[in-house]
Amino acid sequence: MDTFPSLFLQQTRTRSSDPAIRFKHHGLWKTWTWADANSIVKELACGLAAKGLKPNEKVAIIGNNIPNLYFAMIAAQCLGSVPVPIHPDSNTKELVSFLNNCEAKFAMVQDQQQVDALQDVMDQCEGLQEVIYSDGRGMTSYDHSHLSSFEQTQEVGKKFALEHVSFLDDVVSKVTQETEAFILYTAGTSGNARGAVHTHGTLVNTGSAFANQENIKQEEQVLAFLPLSYSANTLFTYTLWLLKGFTINCPESNDTVMTDLRDVGPTLLYAPPHFYKQLYSEITARAQRSNSKSFDKWFKYARQTREELLGGNSSAGGGLKGMLGRLVMFSPLKNVYGLSNIRAAYTGGDVMSGEIFNFFRGIGVDLKKCYGTTESAGFICVQGAEQANTAAGENSMGVPLPGVEIKELDNGEIVFKGINAFKEFYRDSETTRAAKDSDGWVRTGDLGDIDTRGILKITDRVDSVGKFSTGSVFVPHRIEAALKSSPYIQEAVAVGEGQDSIAAFIVIDGVTVGSWAEVNNIRFAGYRDLATQQEVYDLVKTTVEEVNSHISETEGGSCPPIKRFVVMHREFNVDQGEITRSRKIKRDVVMGTHKALVNAMYSSQNSVEVKDDSSGQTVAELKIEST
């Protein structure tokens, strides 16, 4: 049965001269063939072995998507060791927690930024013996007693390989599907992050099921821009890459992703909803700045065509007008944003609003929704065309992958089991038992509904759903998704537990609202000033009232309206714990941090002062708007 090392060696034998991975550096793309990758991986694996890395020991992987970190993960797995991807922006407390929890012996990192962060906490990480960096710029004068470069490790590996000719073949042959392949940390949306252990079999078999169902080919081009620590990236990029042998393209930096997307023109794309939301916002801002009627005309046509298709008209979008729309608007638009070659696009990890989903499908992007968790290797269900193109299926997550089962517990929580189920939470047997029963069913923490055809629809997190004072059920995620369908609203948090109406925190999208303000000659000095403008409140109020007009369809006939809202003076912050790095709202933190705001919205106050927690000084005075 296949493992990551066996798949890698198979690709190096059969496709040695083909491009395996590309990386943009200083504006130029550099390519590594599978033969190049083979040499580097073998040298790194032998170098790590010479430094004392043993099977089942852990190697932290910290940095952005660069070829050397992909090679490092394979090298560790060739030894039967376990790579542990950690987000490169993790703060000091998170780094210490992750490194100690996984008992990392080595950390293989991108550059000086990660080295500096690790040197600050080295004495707090008992098992960490050495940090190995890819880019050594700025570190010539550093103390290298516990520090070395990839090149130095490769040189050690070359010497080790000459002295131990059969070593690597022997150790690779001992890696099986039951061998632990990755520790992937959860986002911590509803509590502390936990390390989910996945075996080679879990990921390879889930990847095979996905690849077969979705007809993934070796000719694909994939832009690898999601953090290495995301479970969906581990499956969609790393696992499918080794299974199919397509080309991974690593962007120059996180800031150049949109530019590099246009350069690459990927055929496959997986991204969380906030990526498509950002793209949608940029397109909207572009339309505003153009002052052209063409955008409005053709976007309206795309929406109408999509509505007809959802209504059962399978020929919608055909004919001369459809061909003209693709020629003069939709094809050029997709080309500008690097979407022309997309054969299939996927989104998952959070709720995507119907407005944004239908926009991309309306302009000809074959976008599908997926559902998964860290414990499920990132994927449980994938939408099929029959679900994506019907009104009933528009909000569905599709059916389970082959080899995966789902069911609904008495309280409505969705559980799954099958080829994608994680082994355990590392060094946490109690939490493992709470999440995974003796029959292999794994709790997701999500409420949902499974129809008679086996199609899954997700409602919200179990711990997010509450009740209004009337006793009717309050599902905040639905309200928030409806609000975020506006290109002007980046984030929204709906409040209503124990109340007779809904209140909402609104975070505006600085790009689209800023563009709208410029077009309408509204002067502002920065984000905070923009967010306080009365015209912006009026703009947001239009969306809130639109959501209210359809709220019975969103939440049911007994749902009260959004009665009051506030436009936040800043975006929600990862460092303050209000939002995860995957852009999921941590509701308990937001509610705790902004408790005074919640109380004010359910009082007669028309404004509220926001104070700095440390200094106690007022940082903003926010207006509370009523509908």
Q: What is the pLDDT of residue 314?
A: 66
Highest mean pLDDT out of 195-204, 356-365, 496-505: 195-204
Residues of the chain with CATH 3.40.50.12780: 4-264
Say if residues 250 and 30 touch (Cβ distance below 8 Å).
Answer: no
Six-digit token string for 15:
């496709």
Q: What is the pLDDT of residue 178?
A: 98
Query: How sure is the predictor about 386, in pLDDT bands with cuts at 50, 70 and 90?
Result: confident
Helix (H, G, I), strand (E, B) or coil at 105: strand
Indicate whether 297 pLDDT > 90.
no
Report the percentage of the chain scoring pLDDT > 70. Answer: 95
Which residues, other chains included, contact 494 with Cβ-Cβ below 8 Å and sequence gap of 6+?
476, 479, 480, 483, 502, 503, 504, 562
Q: What is the pLDDT of residue 310?
A: 63
Which residues, other chains included, contact 129 with Cβ-Cβ below 8 Å and sequence gap of 6+?
51, 52, 105, 106, 146
What rounded mean pLDDT belongs to the chain? Answer: 91
Specify the amino acid at residue 564.
R
For the segment 200-227, the average pLDDT, to the nearest whole number, is 97
Read off φ and ψ for residue 203, nearest 5 degrees: -75, -45
Higher pLDDT among residues 5 and 358, named by residue? 5
**Which residue in 457, 464, 530, 519 sits closest to 496, CA to CA?**
464
Q: What is the pLDDT of residue 315?
A: 66
49 vs 167: CA distance, rounded Å: 9
4 vs 374: CA distance, rounded Å: 19
Indicate whether 551 pLDDT > 90.
no
Measure the CA dihedral 254/259/260/265, to 10°.
140
Lowest mean per-residue pLDDT among 351-360, 518-527, 550-559: 550-559
Read off φ and ψ for residue 313, nearest 5 degrees: -85, 95
Q: What is the pLDDT of residue 313?
A: 65
Query: How sure is the predictor about 295, in pLDDT bands with cuts at 50, 70 and 90?
Result: confident
Indicate whether 393 pLDDT > 60.
no
Query: How sure is the predictor about 588, in pLDDT bands with cuts at 50, 70 and 90?
Result: confident
Percent of residues in the chain assigned helix, strand, coil, to nearest 5? 40, 20, 35
Say if residues 248 and 222 touch (Cβ distance below 8 Å).
Answer: yes
Under DSSP, the state recorded for 221 is: E
Higher pLDDT among residues 590 and 68, named by residue? 68
Largest distance between two CA atoms of the chain? 79
For the segment 147-158, the average pLDDT, to the nearest whole number, is 98
Distance between first and last Cα of the chain? 61
362 vs 303: CA distance, rounded Å: 6
Homologous superfamily in CATH for domain 466-626: ANL, C-terminal domain (3.30.300.30)
373 vs 193: CA distance, rounded Å: 13
DSSP string, 303-360: HHHHHHHHTT-TTTT-HHHHHHHIIIIIHHHHHHTT-TT-SEEEE-SS---HHHHHHH
Higher pLDDT among residues 385 and 71, named by residue? 71
Q: Can you list the pairs that 518-521 forms with residues at least 24 positions away whose Cβ atoms lie under 8 Å?
A: 518/289, 519/288, 519/289, 519/291
Pick the CATH number of 4-264 from 1.10.472.50, 1.20.910.10, 3.40.50.12780, 3.40.640.10: 3.40.50.12780
Q: What is the pLDDT of residue 127?
A: 93
Say if residues 539 and 513 touch (Cβ distance below 8 Å).
Answer: yes
Q: What is the pLDDT of residue 269?
A: 97
CA dist list (Å): 403 to 85, 174, 196, 369, 442: 26, 26, 20, 19, 14
Q: What is the pLDDT of residues 298-347, one digit of tens each?
A: 777 777 777 666 666 666 677 777 777 777 788 888 999 999 999 999 99
Say if residues 535 and 505 touch (Cβ distance below 8 Å).
Answer: no
Which residues, other chains included, contact 535 with Cβ-Cβ below 8 Å and sequence gap of 6+?
517, 520, 522
Residues of the chain with CATH 3.30.300.30: 466-626
Read off φ and ψ for residue 124, nearest 5 degrees: -95, -5
Residue 107's DSSP bridge partners are 60, 131
378 vs 186: CA distance, rounded Å: 11
Six-digit token string for 493:
């948090």
